[in-house]
Every structure is written in structure tokens, then in C-alpha cells.
């Protein structure tokens, strides 16, 4: 069903922070209500055609220990407001949003009138001390379910309920408002995955990077599955050779931007989904800011420099990344060319789950460096390998041959969307030799398999977590060449 309020805020908790909060709030020895401070980073850079729907990413949990508590019972908790003074200052200097989380061990399953009064008092105090544009995020844990909302200093008596709260661990746990999932176009999907699967899928914002052989079927499958918002990023124009595999394109579209073609096709379906095209490449500011607004990113590009950016962004922005691609080898015999090997690949990466694209050898530093250099200076592509190395210290690492054959690109996209379903509503039972975060389909040998990742204990991305929840400090992804925001 359509999102009740598309402008409603979205909240993201990493699985480790969710576990810390739940353990603390439920852990009072007498079963009393407890509280905790949660600090958030707000992402609302993109001003596209969708409703703003800002994202709030939790960066730290501070339990309200005994030195905070004035009084508590199974139905309430009161705390020293003076303890908030240092946090008010920290939020102002680090550009964070203050949050208060609590539980209702024996209270109502919704925010109460007392919660309203406490939140109004907190936001008014915050507004009196800090600069303008202060906000307060409130979380309530009741049973296993989170409820979330935000207040602004401009309207402290008005609470804006969440569009969703997402918990990113080894899957995507989604807490969404109660809704009627009845939709005859999705009845069979709901029969397989239950309710509120459709509401959960519809509450997410998706970003598709690359609108070609895997990106176009991925986007159309999402739209048909009940997605409400899809951002499509691609700077390429359609060529006649793309028509065998690009969904929604016709001969009349040759020369038009691929993202625009795909967005028009999805919007013409008459479904609940709205799609918007960003007609440029990912490294441009508008595309990066649009991607930061998404909850789930699908990487469907053949550009390793773009994959490098996405591999970094999901740690900074707390997003889920589903990367798909194809590879293979063509050989020639007496009968002509034939497929010696061909496979489709789907990698899943969340901030606290899965090995990064470097560890899975999907991208290499040499190829990323080469692609970035040739993007800035296309004439470098005309140089020989020896000239590249001698004059520019660049090596074109090359890539696998991946002929664009529609059944293979479509099958890979199908598997990518099924992987999303498994993240939201787990259904797969994988044998021991398959890795959840990297699955390959061999189209020639007709088998499914996984390649083991590199054993790299010092990987800054997926092992040492250097970039997870890191503050960009006004520079996109901390990389000056991507510009300030």
C-alpha cells in the first residue's frame, strides 16, 4: 500500500547498538522502566522530487545509569535533566541530534501522555541553550517492537512518527507503522512472505546505480514487488546494442539517458512506485547526495570506481548494499566463439555483516585508480600498458569478459532481488559451502557456488571498521575530490 506519510522520518540502528539498547532497557533487576541517550546523525542532503523523509542514523548509545535516575518503577523513569547539559553542547559542536530511548515494561504499547510532556520539556530546554534547528528523537521499546518519532524546536508539541526504523545486523529488521497490506497485485507475494512484508518493502527508499542489463530488471522487479520510491543513477545514453537486455527501452529511445528511460517506464506502469532519474555518474554531487538518502543501494554498474564509492558509503551512511555483476571468458574454436565460462554474482554488504568488495575481489585498487584517472583524462585510454606505467604509474588491471546476454543479466537481477527479500524476511536454507554474502551462478556448468574472501584481518572496511559511523565533517565520504556538502 502507498506510504501513509512519505515525508515521515526514517531511522537506522546498527545491530550492535540495537542489542546494547535492548539489553539495557530490559535489564533492570526489578523490572522497572529504564532510559538511555541515543545520539543520531541526520542525512537530508538531497532535495529531489520525493518528500524529504530525512534519515537519522544512530551513532552512539549512552545508558542512563544510577547517577542519572531520580526515581523509577515498572511504569515510569525520572532522571536528572542537568546531566543533559554536556550532551546539548556535544550535539551542537558535532552536529548530532539528541535522542531519548526508553521502554514500557508494564505500560502502554504506544507513547504516553507523560512521554509527550517529557519530550516537550527536553526539546524546549535544548532550544533554549543551543543554536536554532534543534530536534529530539524519541524511541520506545515495547515487547520486541520499536516505535520512533522526532520533534522540532519550532513545533515542540508536534511529534512526527517514523516511516520506519531499520535495524541493520546480518539482515534488515524493519519496524513500520501498522498498515493494511491488502493489494491484489501482490496477493501471491504476501502469501509467500506474510504480512507486513509489503508495508516493509514500501517503507524503504531504494537506489539503483546503473540502469543497464542488471539495473533495469532489478528496478522493474522492485517496482512490481511493492517498492514506493526508487532513485536511478546512470550517466550513460542508450545504444542500440543495449536493446537486447535493457528493460523498458525501445528503438526510439536510442540516444536518450538510460536512467531517464527506466524511470519513465516504471512511472508509466501505474503501480504504487515512483522512480526518479539522476542523469549523471555516481561521483557527481547530486548523485552522491541522492544515494545517501536511500536505505538500500543496488550496485548494477560495470564501473569499479563507482563500486569503490558505494563500498565506502554504506559504512559512513549505514546502508545495505546489494552488488550484482557478471563475468566470464569467451574462447574461439573451429566453430567460432563460445562461452568457456560465464557466471552471475550477487554480493551482500551491510555495515556489520559481509566481507567488503575488496576482500571478495570484486574490485581492486589498481583498477579503481585506473578508472578514476581515465575518467578525469580520457586520453589516457589511448596509451599502451608500458606507457601508462612509465608515465602515470597506472595499471589497467582489466576485467573479466561479460557479454551482455539477456537471460544471464536477468537471472542475476532476479537473484539480487530474492537476496533483498531474504534480508527482510529470511527464507533461504543455504548449504555449508555457500556464503550468504557472496553467491555465484555458473550459467555454463549449471551450479551455484561461493568463492572464499581474502583472509585480510586488517581490512579497513569490513574488519577494522575504520569508516563505520564515521563523521564526514562536511566532505562527502571524507574524500575531498567528491566535494563539500
Looking at the fold, whether 86 and 156 belong to one and the same domain comes out as: yes
Looking at the fold, whether 23 and 117 belong to one and the same domain comes out as: yes
- What span, in angstroms and rounded, lies between the C-alpha atoms of 59 and 56? 9
Residue 394 pLDDT level (bands cut at 50, 70, 90): very low
Q: Report the candidate in 314, 21, 35, 52 with the shortest Cα–Cα distance to residue 146.
A: 21
Give the length of the chain.
485
Rounded mean pLDDT, 90-99: 94
- Is the distance from CB of 421 to CB of 227 less than 8 angstroms? no
Looking at the fold, whether 366 and 239 belong to one and the same domain comes out as: yes
| Distance, CA of 13 to chain centre | 12
Give the pLDDT score at 107.
Answer: 77
Residue 352 within a domain: yes
Which CA distances in Å does 280 have to 43, 233, 372, 454, 476? Answer: 21, 7, 15, 33, 17
- Kindly tell me if the per-residue pLDDT of 338 is higher than 90: no
Looking at the fold, whether 154 and 79 belong to one and the same domain comes out as: yes
- Which residues have a Cβ under 8 Å from the Cβ of 197 and sit 6 or more positions away? 181, 189, 190, 424, 425
Looking at the fold, whether 215 and 147 belong to one and the same domain comes out as: no
Looking at the fold, whether 137 and 257 belong to one and the same domain comes out as: no
Looking at the fold, whether 120 and 214 belong to one and the same domain comes out as: no
Question: Residue 332 maps to which CATH number?
Answer: 3.40.50.720
Residue where a domain terminates, one of 156, 175, 194: 175
Residue 309 pLDDT level (bands cut at 50, 70, 90): very high
Residue 182 within a domain: no
Looking at the fold, whether 266 and 303 belong to one and the same domain comes out as: yes
Looking at the fold, whether 325 and 380 belong to one and the same domain comes out as: yes
- Kindly tell me if the per-residue pLDDT of 2 is higher than 70: no
Question: Residue 33 maps to which CATH number?
Answer: 3.40.140.10
Rounded mean pLDDT, 427-454: 96
- Kindly tell me if the per-residue pLDDT of 390 is higher than 90: no
- Kindly tell me if the per-residue pLDDT of 33 is higher than 60: yes
Looking at the fold, whether 286 and 147 belong to one and the same domain comes out as: no
Give the pLDDT score at 359.
Answer: 97
- Kindly tell me if the per-residue pLDDT of 358 is higher than 50: yes
Phi, psi (degrees; rounded to nearest 5) at 120: -60, -40
Give the pLDDT score at 328.
Answer: 84
Residue 60 within a domain: yes
Q: What is the domain count for the chain? A: 2
- Which residues have a Cβ under 8 Å from the Cβ of 142 and sit 6 or more positions away? 103, 104, 107, 108, 109, 110
Residue 199 within a domain: no
- Kindly tell me if the per-residue pLDDT of 28 is higher than 90: yes
Looking at the fold, whether 338 and 475 belong to one and the same domain comes out as: yes
- What span, in angstroms and rounded, lies between the C-alpha atoms of 18 and 169? 9
Domain containing 435 equals: 204-482
Strands 155-161 and 164-168: unpaired
Residue 184 within a domain: no
Angle between helices 85-94 and 113-129 (to 10 degrees): 60
- Kindly tell me if the per-residue pLDDT of 397 is higher than 60: no
Residue 384 within a domain: yes
**At which residue does the C-alpha cell 536554532 appear?**
132
- Is the distance from CB of 111 to CB of 159 less than 8 angstroms? yes
Rounded mean pLDDT, 129-133: 73
Q: For residue range 438-447, what is the model confidence (pLDDT) as tens digits? A: 999 999 999 9
Residue 130 within a domain: yes
Residue 380 pLDDT level (bands cut at 50, 70, 90): low
Q: For residue range 144-202, what is the model confidence (pLDDT) as tens digits? A: 999 999 999 999 999 999 999 999 999 999 999 987 666 788 889 989 998 899 999 99
Residue 116 within a domain: yes
Instruction: Report the range of poorest mean pLDDT among 175-189, 223-237, 247-261.
Output: 175-189
Looking at the fold, whether 142 and 221 belong to one and the same domain comes out as: no
Instruction: Report the range of poorest mean pLDDT among 117-126, 138-147, 364-373, 407-416.
Output: 364-373
- Kindly tell me if the per-residue pLDDT of 409 is higher than 80: yes
Residue where a domain terminates, one of 175, 190, 219: 175
Amino acid at each position: 500500500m502507498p506510504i501513509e506519510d512519505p515525508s515521515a522520518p526514517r531511522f537506522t540502528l546498527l545491530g550492535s547498538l540495537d542489542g546494547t539498547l535492548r539489553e539495557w532497557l530490559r535489564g533492570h533487576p526489578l523490572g522497572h522502566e529504564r532510559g538511555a541517550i541515543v545520539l543520531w546523525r541526520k542525512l537530508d542532503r538531497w532535495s529531489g522530487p520525493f518528500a524529504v523523509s530525512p534519515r537519522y542514523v544512530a551513532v552512539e548509545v549512552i545508558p542512563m545509569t544510577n547517577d542519572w535516575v531520580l526515581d523509577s518503577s515498572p511504569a515510569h523513569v525520572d532522571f536528572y535533566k542537568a546531566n543533559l547539559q554536556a550532551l546539548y553542547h556535544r550535539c551542537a559542536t558535532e552536529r548530532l541530534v539528541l535522542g531519548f530511548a526508553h521502554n514500557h515494561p508494564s505500560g502502554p504499547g504506544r507513547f504516553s501522555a507523560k512521554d509527550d510532556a517529557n519530550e516537550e520539556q527536553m526539546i524546549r530546554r535544548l532550544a533554549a541553550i543551543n543554536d536554532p534547528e534543534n530536534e529530539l528523537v524519541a524511541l520506545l521499546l515495547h515487547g520486541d517492537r520499536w516505535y520512533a518519532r522526532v520533534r522540532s524546536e519550532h513545533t515542540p508539541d508536534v511529534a512526527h512518527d517514523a516511516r520506519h526504523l531499520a535495524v541493520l545486523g546480518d539482515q534488515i529488521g524493519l519496524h513500520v507503522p501498522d498498515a493494511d497490506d491488502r493489494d491484489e497485485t501482490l496477493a501471491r507475494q504476501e502469501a509467500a512472505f506474510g504480512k507486513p512484508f509489503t508495508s516493509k518493502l514500501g517503507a524503504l527508499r531504494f537506489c539503483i546505480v546503473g540502469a543497464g542489463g542488471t539495473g533495469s530488471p532489478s528496478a522493474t522487479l522492485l517496482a512490481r514487488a511493492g517498492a514506493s520510491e526508487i532513485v536511478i543513477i546512470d550517466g550513460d545514453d542508450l545504444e542500440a546494442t543495449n536493446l537486447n537486455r535493457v528493460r523498458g527501452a525501445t528503438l526510439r529511445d536510442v540516444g536518450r539517458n538510460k536512467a531517464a528511460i527506466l524511470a519513465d517506464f516504471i512511472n508509466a506502469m501505474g503501480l504504487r512506485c515512483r522512480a526518479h532519474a539522476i542523469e549523471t555518474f555516481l561521483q557527481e554531487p547530486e548523485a552522491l547526495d541522492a544515494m545517501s538518502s536511500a536505505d538500500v543501494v543496488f550496485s548494477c554498474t560495470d564501473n569499479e570506481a563507482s563500486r569503490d564509492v558505494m563500498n565506502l558509503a554504506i559504512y559512513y551512511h549505514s546502508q545495505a548494499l546489494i552488488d550484482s555483476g557478471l563475468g566470464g571468458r569467451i574462447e574461439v574454436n573451429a566453430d567460432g566463439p563460445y562461452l568457456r565460462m560465464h557466471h552471475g554474482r550477487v554480493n551482500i554488504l551491510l555495515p556489520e555483516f559481509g566481507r567488503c568488495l575488496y576482500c571478495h575481489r570484486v574490485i581492486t585498487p589498481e583498477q579503481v585508480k585506473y578508472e578514476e584517472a581515465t575518467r578525469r583524462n580520457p586520453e589516457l585510454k589511448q596509451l599502451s600498458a608500458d606507457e601508462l606505467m612509465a608515465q602515470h604509474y597506472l595499471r589497467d588491471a582489466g576485467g573479466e569478459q561479460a557479454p551482455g546476454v539477456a537471460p544471464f543479466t536477468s537471472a542475476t537481477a532476479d537473484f539480487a532481488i530474492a537476496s533483498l527479500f531474504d534480508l527482510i524476511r529470511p527464507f533461504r536454507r543455504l548449504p555449508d559451502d555457500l556464503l550468504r554474502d557472496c553467491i555465484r551462478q555458473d550459467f555454463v556448468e549449471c551450479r551455484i557456488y561461493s568463492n572464499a574472501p581474502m583472509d585480510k584481518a586488517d581490512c579497513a572496511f569490513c574488519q577494522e571498521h575504520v569508516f563505520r559511523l564515521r563523521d564526514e565533517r562536511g566532505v562527502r565520504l571524507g574524500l575531498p575530490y567528491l566535494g563539500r556538502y
